[in-house]
Amino acid sequence: ASDIAFAVTDQRCRVKWVNPRMAGLLGLNAEQSVGRSLPALLAGAPEAPAEGVVVSWRSRDETDHRWLEISCLPLAEDFLFRAVDVTRWRDQELRAAKLGHRHEDLLRMVEEDPLTGLPNRRALTRELERQLALGVRGALLLLDLDNFKDINDLRGHPAGDRVMCTLANLLRDRLTDGQ
């Protein structure tokens, strides 16, 4: 088995083929990966040819964290994606820059909204793409706060922040982890 993850996508970055290592990173099997957006499943992956893009990757159960160097290369009418684990090198770099103690904070910032602590758009998109690939049934709830701008304009941004945090806490208290 290769330690390097490979995927072939069309020009819209929809997966056509993955090797077992890439399927493992995506949290899907090879068949479930086909037709899915690689950048949506592998947050931070380039959407056009690029080399050496370093992204933070966390396993679905959040027990494993890796730094991946991802390259996207033209391949005839398609793209070839290559992901290499550079965790050891990246961790040494963070320690040398004296950022090692901030490692968990940096990882959280990649996945969460800093105000509410809820998953951000990147985390939500990746999870939705994965759930669709797995054929999981469910629903997506979208909330629109009418006239929210008025709260910020009339009461100030700190009041608007309190409303957002209160709403986030209500959602967190009433939904289970799988929801």
Which pLDDT does position 32 carry in this prediction? Answer: 92
pLDDT of 179 reads 61
What does the pLDDT read at residue 132? 83
Task: Determine contact, residues 77/11, Cβ cutoff 8 Å.
Answer: yes
Could you give the CA distance from residue 134 to residue 109 in angstroms, rounded to a whole number? 27
Pairing of strands 65-75, 78-85: antiparallel
pLDDT (tens place) for every residue of the chain, 179 residues total: 568 999 999 999 999 999 999 998 888 899 999 999 999 888 889 999 999 988 888 777 777 778 889 999 999 999 999 999 888 877 777 667 766 566 667 667 777 888 888 888 888 887 888 888 788 888 888 888 888 889 889 999 889 899 988 888 888 888 876 66
pLDDT score at 101 = 61
